[in-house]
Structures are given as C-alpha cells and as structure tokens.
Amino acid sequence: MKITDLTALELGRRIRGRELSVREALEAVLKQIHENETRIHAYITLADETALFARADRIQKAIDEGSLTGPLAGVPAAVKDNICTEGMATTCGSRILSGFVPPYQATAAARLEKAGVLLLGKTNMDEFAMGSTTETSWFGPTKNPWDESRVPGGSSGGSCAAVAAGEAFFALGSDTGGSIRQPASFCGVTGIKPTYGTVSRYGLIAYGSSLDQIGPVARDTADCAAVLDVIAGYDPKDSTSVRRSDPGSFTSCAASAAGLRIGIPDDYLGKGLDPEVKDAVLAAAESLQEQGAQVRFFSLGLVRYAIPAYYVIACAEASSNLARFDGVKYGFRAERYEGLHGMYKESRSQGFGSEVKRRILLGSFVLSSGYYDAYYLKALRVKAQIRKAFDEAFRSFDLVLGPAAPAAAPRLGESLSDPLRMYLGDIYTVAANLAGLPGLCLPCGKTKEGLPIGVQLMADRFQEAKLFGAARAYEQVRGTFPMPGGKKEKEAAR
C-alpha cells in the first residue's frame, strides 16, 4: 500500500508509532502532487517546499519530545482557497483577490496548525464558492480524478479532488448550499457540513454568511470526525459561533445503526434523479436497515421551494458581503478608469467573473427598495417553513437519508451554459444550509461508467454524533471505498 493511500488517522498512528517520519509522509504526498497536479489542478497555490520540510522537522521534534500527541500530528492536508492563511495567497478563485496575502490566519486553519497538521496549499474552487463544478475559478477548472473529462463538483472541487487523488490526506472545504457534500459525492470521498456555528467562520471569506460553514473532506468518516474534533469549537471572533460540549468526542463515535430511525423523503426520489444514483442510495439505506435501523419513506414537503429561497438569500447576502471588493485595500485594481466610482466599477467589473456578477446583480435587486418584501422577506419566510418541515421530520426520525446530487459528475463544459439547470442540481443539499443542519456525504457505489455515487445523511442541529455513528456502521459493511485508478492506469492496463 502506498503511503498516500493511508487514511489521515492511520498515517498519524504510524507517525506516532515511529513507523513513518513526518518527512516521509510529506515526501510521499509531494511526489503524488508532482505526478498528478498538472492533470488534476486541485491547487491554486502550493506552499513553499523548503518551508514545509522545515515545519515537518519541527513537528517531528515535537512528536518525539512528546509535546505533540494528537491524532493528526504530522499529517499533510489542504485548505480551500476561501480560508485565509497568514502569509499564503488566498484568492477565492477570483481575479479580484489576485495578489492578496492575508495578514492573519483563519481560526480553522490555526487550529489545524496547532494540532501539528502540515498545510500543503490552497485548493481550487468556484469563484467565491459560487458554482457547482469548480469551472468558474479564475485559475481554470479542476479535473475529476476518476475521469479527467469530468468536473469534480463544486464549489469545494479542489479539496475533494486533492483528497481523491492522494494529493492531501484530508482537506478543509466550505459549504453554503452543498459545496462540500456534492463534490464529495462526485469524487468518491467523505465530507461533512457541520451544524451552523460549529466551526468558526473567522477568516472564511464570506459568501452567504447565514449559510456558510467550514467542514472536513477526507477518505472516510473516522477521518472527518477527527478533523472536526480539531476545528470545531467556540470562537469569540465569530459572533455566530456556538458553545457546544461535544467537539473532541466525535472521533470516538462508535459505529451504530441499531435502533436508528431513518427517513427517506419520497420527494427526493422523484423526477430528475438518475436511476443508478437512486438504486445506490436505496441500497445504502437497506444496508443500514440490515444493521438494525428502521427505515421508512415519508413526505418532507416544500422540497422544490428550497432552491428559489436559497438563491434569493444567498445572492442577497453575497451582494452585501462582496461590496468590500472595490480595488482600494487589497487585490485587483483596474488600470483605466475615471474618478473614484469609476475605479470601483471597473475594478469590480473586470475582477469578478460572470457567475459572481450574476449573483451580485440578483442580490442587489432583491434587496432594493420596492422588492425587498416581495423577494428577500418572502424567501426568509419560506426558509422558516422549510426549517419547520425538518423540525417535524426530526420528531419522527433520527436521520434523513437521500442522494447528495441528482446524477454523477457531468462532463467539463456541460453545466455553465445553463445556470438555472446547474442551480437545480443543488436540490438535495441546500435545505441543510437553510435549516442550519449537519449533513454528511459518503460514497455508496459507482455508476456503470465507474463514477462515484454518494449518499447523504442529515441530522437535526447538533446531532453530528448520530451521523458519524450511522456512517461508520455503513462503512463497516461497504468496506474501504477505492481510490481512483485514473485514466493513466487504465490505459497502462490495456
């Protein structure tokens, strides 16, 4: 087994057990990056290798001395490029942040570093996390490691592709409407969007502040739990940060499906769902049932209203959050303009891509005087009803199970021509963001063409432990999900 095929926890164990050095782990992952990155393009920025090896030696010393004992000490990982890293360029996949080097560290990244994680670099993403394919990045698309003619999903496509391609042992992503769960599904990796407020958003460049949440992407559920244990926790620098007592205990969540009440919304299995995805998702439910879970179909309701409500709210918040990018304090400034306002307008018009501008315009419209009540407040009322529908569901069920995306990964270039159709692909994921719920996606099969399919589990707010327990129970039966062979190997085998 290659070092880069190990899970993060297994790598951490071997480093602590002196079977592997931190340097060896770093060398292995850098080799994988050098071999794959020109084809996959999972990263926007890679850390300086000399500095990485120096840090690897410092971590090794701390492990040897016994001052660094955590399960992720010495593990190399990647961070999505909308999470600020002190001294390392942070672009959000946008021209408007070109050249921006944050003078401070996001809390989630700081917590990883404190735990002895090596930050390899910053992963590619849809510009400002607006997109479902990682194709709207100013730096060009990321390819899906399972089939390089396909997208990795998005917006955390770089993070998911990096983990799938062995270019990181785990990664941080962010999820505003499914941006961790959908690419995890497309790339055959595991990802969780925690309950809103669980991971500090300090240093996460805001898209839709009431929906954004940072979460882990990894090889399996145990790795996700271990990463969440490190990054979760109250942070006075984020006023929406929640004080909860269970971070630190997720790693020890045992596999457990017995007695769990699992609901499958009928409304998630109807028109638009690819039959292969449906079969794989229902087979996962059956597997949980065989392990003692009670599985029942139910009608969730309001499902088709989640996307329009989501786009109004997300775009409204984005139009406000992205007002700060004006070419004055950081990033891109247009070369030619007339006057101060001309400079703002030209810098923004040239600095933002078309999907970002589309959402800023829509957001500005729905917040404008005369339309605020009809669109923005209406969407917030619908959001309240959607949340209520989930509250009711969680009176009868411990978990809600469904797909993460209507189909496996589309081909590059297929999605952007019809934005509305692309938005509809978020139908199974946006509700968790509107209601603040945790959602976990893990691989449950492959299509005939060999593309990964993910199953999504959602729980009530603060019930991550149930997600981890059920997901681990499912994994015990499923077994280790394979890493992609990639086209190169397939061709070599021919």
Q: Which segment (45-53, 68-76, 163-171, 195-203) binds other proteins by CB under 8 A? A: 195-203
- Cβ contact 99:347 at 8 Å: no
Task: Please confirm, yes or no, whether 179 is among the known catalytic residues.
Answer: yes
* 379 contacts other proteins (rule: CB under 8 A): yes
Answer for which of 147, 220, 317, 326 binds other proteins (CB under 8 A) is 326
Backbone phi, then psi, for 166, in 5-degree steps?
70, 20
Q: Please state, in angstroms and rounded to a whole number, the distance separating the CA atoms of residues 109 and 363.
A: 30
- Which residues lie below 8 Å from residue 357, measured CB to CB, with a gap of 6+? 349
Q: What 3-state class would DSSP assign to 261? A: strand
Task: Please confirm, yes or no, whether 185 is among the known catalytic residues.
Answer: no
Catalytic residue among 80, 122, 193, 466: 80
Beta sheet of 170-175, edge-to-edge order: 43-46, 118-123, 76-80, 170-175, 213-218, 190-193, 439-446, 452-459, 399-403, 261-265, 294-298
Chain centre to alpha carbon of residue 112: 16
Q: Please state, in angstroms and rounded to a whole number, the distance separating the CA atoms of residues 477 and 464.
A: 21
Q: What 3-state class would DSSP assign to 452? A: strand
Q: Which segment (59-67, 148-156, 432-440, 475-483) binds other proteins by CB under 8 A? A: 432-440
Q: Please state, in angstroms and rounded to a whole number, the distance separating the CA atoms of residues 153 and 38.
A: 18
Angle ∠(273,163,444) on CA atoms, nearest 5: 35
* 275 contacts other proteins (rule: CB under 8 A): no
Site size for other proteins (CB under 8 A): 70
- Cβ contact 439:181 at 8 Å: yes
* 51 contacts other proteins (rule: CB under 8 A): no
Q: In the structure encoding, which two tokens stand for residue 360, read together? A: 């800023």
Q: What region does 24 belong to: left with phi over 0, alpha with psi -120 to 50, or beta?
A: alpha
Q: In the structure encoding, which two tokens stand for residue 301, read together? A: 């309701």
| C-alpha R_g of the chain | 21
- Shortest distance, CB of residue 236 to other proteins, whole angstroms? 7
Whose Cβ is closer to other proteins: residue 98's or residue 289's? 98
Catalytic residue among 94, 132, 137, 155: 155
Answer for which of 384, 413, 449, 490 binds other proteins (CB under 8 A) is 384
Q: DSSP string of 110-134? A: HHHHHTT-EEEEEE--SGGG--SSS
Residues 225-264 that bind other proteins (CB under 8 A): 236, 239-240, 242
Answer for which of 328, 396, 476, 480 binds other proteins (CB under 8 A) is 328
* 345 contacts other proteins (rule: CB under 8 A): yes
- Shortest distance, CB of residue 337 to other proteins, whole angstroms? 7
Answer for which of 41, 95, 219, 461 binds other proteins (CB under 8 A) is 461
Answer for which of 171, 362, 416, 451 binds other proteins (CB under 8 A) is 362
Whose Cβ is closer to other proteins: residue 296's or residue 381's? 381
Q: Which segment (199-207, 222-230, 250-258, 301-309) binds other proteins by CB under 8 A? A: 301-309
* 170 contacts other proteins (rule: CB under 8 A): no
Answer for which of 349, 396, 476, 480 binds other proteins (CB under 8 A) is 349
Answer for which of 11, 277, 382, 431 binds other proteins (CB under 8 A) is 382
Instruction: Please list the alpha-helical segments (H only) found in 125-207.
Output: 157-164, 181-187
* 485 contacts other proteins (rule: CB under 8 A): no
* 329 contacts other proteins (rule: CB under 8 A): yes
Of 468, 456, 459, which is closest to residue 184 (Cα–Cα)?
A: 456
Answer for which of 116, 173, 203, 331 binds other proteins (CB under 8 A) is 331
Whose Cβ is closer to other proteins: residue 160's or residue 356's? 356
* 394 contacts other proteins (rule: CB under 8 A): no
Task: Please confirm, yes or no, whether 80 is among the known catalytic residues.
Answer: yes
List of residues contacting other proteins (CB under 8 A): 99-101, 103, 195-197, 210-211, 236, 239-240, 242, 302, 304-305, 308-309, 311-312, 319, 323, 326-333, 337, 339-346, 348-349, 352, 357-358, 360-368, 375, 377-385, 387, 419-420, 434-436, 461
Q: Which residues are catalytic?
A: 80, 155, 179
